[in-house]
């Protein structure tokens, strides 16, 4: 498979070889998404070639910094950013229509506290984020890769979690959410043994949905069908 390019920089979406947690879909952008991209990517878009960011310079202030990995079509991220204008948000999504959709939300809502990458989250972690720069990392409804032979593709793995830990400040939070029970069990097993993390809930339990995590339309449909949703909220301890 030929790697999709980041059209803003002509860079590959990922530099990593081997197993990936995503498959690049060749979906087309809508006219509205395309126009939002053209208007707003130069202002809100970030690229691997920008190198290591300095959040205070990027946003022009010192504020709580959130990272959302795999924001889909961006509605949840835009809702969180609109509800917390005193915080800053960086989103990562490999699928270009999702980035266009978020940029349209940014325009429609008049948001100033959002920036976005259209590359692999692994590259953002490795090349773009200083250590101890994040207050919160959110991974909501990642691909569950539900077939057993595909479990190795799941994003939440011990090595990935440790790389995230170094980007969180001590006291920062890693918030994971899934609607696949088997994946929730996998996530809990990974996080319960992860060095430098502690569950914010007693007895290694799952967390109630934090009030600042929006409920998506997809989640509402699942809940209506009796599907479960599991939140895990862990804090960096060292």
Active-site residue (options: 126, 135, 143, 212): 143
Neighbours of 27 (CB within 10 A): 10
Class of the 31-236 domain?
A: alpha beta
Mean pLDDT of 166-179: 97
Q: pLDDT at position 2, please?
A: 34
Q: Is 68 annotated as a binding residue?
A: yes
Q: Is 108 annotated as a binding residue?
A: no
Which residue is it, tokens 């967390």? 207
pLDDT digits (tens, 9 = 90+) for 56-66: 999 999 999 99
Q: Is 147 annotated as a binding residue?
A: yes
Closest listed residue to residue 178, CA positions, set 170, 189, 169: 189
Q: Is 167 annotated as a binding residue?
A: no
Active site annotation includes 143: yes
Q: pLDDT at position 148, please?
A: 75
**pTM score above 0.85:** yes
pLDDT digits (tens, 9 = 90+) for 202-234: 998 999 999 999 998 778 877 887 889 999 999
Bridge-based pairing of strands 65-69 and 45-46 is: unpaired
pLDDT digits (tens, 9 = 90+) for 14-36: 666 666 554 666 678 999 999 99
């Amino acid at each position: 498979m030929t790697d999709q390019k980041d059209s803003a920089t002509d860079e590959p979406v990922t530099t990593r070889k081997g197993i990936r947690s995503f498959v690049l879909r060749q979906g087309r952008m809508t006219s509205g998404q395309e126009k939002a991209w053209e208007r707003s990517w130069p202002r809100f878009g970030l690229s691997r070639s920008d190198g290591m960011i300095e959040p205070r310079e990027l946003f022009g202030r010192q504020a709580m910094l959130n990272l959302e990995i795999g924001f889909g079509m961006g509605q949840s991220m835009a809702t969180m950013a609109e509800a917390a204008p005193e915080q800053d948000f960086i989103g990562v999504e490999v699928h270009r229509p999702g980035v266009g959709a978020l940029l349209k939300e940014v325009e429609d809502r008049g948001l100033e506290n959002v920036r976005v990458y259209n590359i692999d989250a692994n590259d953002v972690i490795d090349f773009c984020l200083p250590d101890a720069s994040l207050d919160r990392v959110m991974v909501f409804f990642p691909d569950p890769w539900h077939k057993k032979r595909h479990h190795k593709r799941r994003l939440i793995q011990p090595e990935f979690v440790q790389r995230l830990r170094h980007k969180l400040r001590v006291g920062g939070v890693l918030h994971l959410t899934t609607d696949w029970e088997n994946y929730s069990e996998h996530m809990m097993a990974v996080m319960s043994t992860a060095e430098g993390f502690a569950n914010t809930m007693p007895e290694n339990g799952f967390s109630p949905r934090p009030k600042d995590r929006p409920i998506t339309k997809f989640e509402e449909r699942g809940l209506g069908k009796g599907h479960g949703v599991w939140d895990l909220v862990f804090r960096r301890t060292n």
